[in-house]
Structure 1
Amino acid sequence: MNDENPFPHDLLQLQERLHRAHAEHRAYLDGLPWSVEPMKGWVRGERFSHRGDVPHSPGWSDEQKETVDGMWAEIRELSIAVVDHRHWKSVPVDTLVKTRRELKRQARPAEVAEAA
């Protein structure tokens, strides 16, 4: 920690890992079928759809479900580690939200920031 950067190095690393875990989760979900369970699709007009026709969804495989569950578990663990970090005890309550936003901004990896 220094005057330019008020955050401990390990907290910055945790927040960066959290940003990356969220980005990897979103990217993985983008490659999956739109429905977790098999579901019949529909054409525009049968049901409301801002996307137009919606194809049938084969659902997710057990492996895909396990992967998503594992990703969520990692995101939860990292979130808890960031929120419970000892650094937050030294931050005045009236600046806590602003300081947490600054941590997120400083720790955002370049490729995650570009994708957002």
Structure 2
Amino acid sequence: MSATPSPEQASAEDEKFNPHDFPQKLRDAQRRAAELYAEIRTFQSRLPWSREPHEGWPEVTERGRERAGRAASSGWPPADAAAYDKLREELLEAAAYVHTHGWWKTCRDHGVQGADLVAARQALKTAKGTVPLSREDVEQTA
């Protein structure tokens, strides 16, 4: 004969802790970090390959191995370097906020550790509302 759980036990099972039930502030911070990362990558893609002036180097093929060359770079204009530094600082602050958010302590307090905690942190990166442009956004716009 099986014992039926008490109402307290049943409600405790129903309310099991879900490490993927991220708080809205954490979702917003992850989205901001993702937006800043995309912005910095786009900004950087239009800049010369070297921040400082550099003479570059020739392409080399040696004993069957190839090393790609680089053309000379005039470096980044001071205004672009300052804008990049500002974006990078904002990105580092946003990432630090996400990484040190109190949610991760709450997860550990509920026994989420090791690979499960890593999985929760990874899931945050693609959780609803954390990705700047999702498939649904594209479908709604089309």
**The residue matched to 1:109 in structure 2 has which SS?**
coil
Higher strand share: 2
Which residues of 2 match residues 65-76 of structure 1 at below 5 A? 65-76=81-92
Which residues of 2 match residues 1-116 of structure 1 at below 5 A? 6-45=21-60, 49-50=67-68, 54-91=70-107, 92-94=112-114, 95-106=116-127, 107-110=130-133
Deviations 1:84-116 (A, max 9, x none): 2121112122321010000011122226xxxxx
Deviations 1:44-97 (A, max 9, x none): 349x643x5x33211111111111111111011101111121211121223210
Greater shift, 85-94 or 25-34, is seen at 85-94
Unmatched 5+ stretches in structure 2: 1-17, 135-142
TM-score (norm 1): 0.78
Aligned length: 106
Q: What amino acid is aligned across from residue 89 of structure 1 in structure 2?
A: K
Q: Distance in 2 between matches of 1:39 and 1:76?
A: 27
Q: Distance in 1 between matches of 2:98 and 2:57?
A: 43
Correspondence for 2:12: none
The CA deviation at 1:43 is 4.2
TM-score (norm 2): 0.65
Task: Tell me the percent identity.
Answer: 31
Q: What amino acid is aligned across from residue 11 of structure 1 in structure 2?
A: L
Q: Distance in 2 between matches of 1:32 and 1:39?
A: 14
Q: What amino acid is aligned across from residue 88 of structure 1 in structure 2?
A: W
Structure with more contact order per residue of length (Cα contacts < 8 Å, sep ≥ 6): 1
The CA deviation at 1:42 is 4.3
- Radius of gyration: which is bigger? 2
Higher helix share: 1
